[in-house]
Amino acid sequence: MALELFTTDGPAGRIDGRLELPDPARFATPRFLAVFGHPHPQLGGTMQSSPVVHGARALARLGGAVARFDFRGVGKSEGEYDEGRGELEDYLAVVAMVRSRWPGVSPLLGAGFSFGAVRALECAARRACDAYLGVAPPLTLERYAGKLPPRIEVPAALVLAGADELVPPPSRADLERRFADLRAVEVVADASHLFPKKLPELTAALERAAVALLA
């Protein structure tokens, strides 16, 4: 795999990011594209958060060209925190950048961890991405009640923390109501929300979920 630094223009200014690229000896061109959003900017989330780095690299090993980036106001990305609204616009700007670089490659997976998983979910609801991959998405948090997209029509897969102390597990009925085409639900046993000491298990679960989406 290869790592490439990038910047792109966003609605609040420059967005700073990294591209995780597949091994050129195995993949002459990427098999698919992905954008991977990071956890909450006001709680220390960045594109260098361990689940984001490991997740992006897992997708690159499968042949994806994967963009991870800092939302506005984080690291070298310009702008200020905007309670998710502007961060969705940042996410969509990176989606557009990735599509423009590889116009003949599809699908594009909208992926993310925690706060980033919500931005990816909103992207999927707009059909700006072709599939959804959420890692520990806060679907059941009270603060998001009535604010999340009610129905996702694109193919979806989830990776959940089995002992998530922040996000109660979604019920089967909630998942069936929210996702029209849920291809996989992977649960990392005994993992708390940030997956400490569970990164190998997270990586394996994420790869299985991605394979289900790409099948």
pLDDT in tens, 157-189: 999 999 999 999 999 999 999 999 999 999 999
Residue type at position 215: A
The structural domains of the chain, ordered by start, are 2-214 (3.40.50.1820)
What mean pLDDT is reported for the chain?
97
| pTM exceeding 0.85 | yes
At 145 the pLDDT is 79
Q: 148-185 in b/e burial notation, b at 16+ Cβ within 10 A?
A: beeebebbbbbbbbeebeebebbeeeeeeebbeebbbb
What span, in angstroms and rounded, lies between the C-alpha atoms of 214 and 106? 10
What span, in angstroms and rounded, lies between the C-alpha atoms of 196 and 145? 27
pLDDT in tens, 27-79: 999 999 999 999 999 999 999 999 999 999 999 999 999 999 999 999 999 99
Crossing angle of helices 50-61 and 199-214, in 10° steps, is 40
At 78 the pLDDT is 98
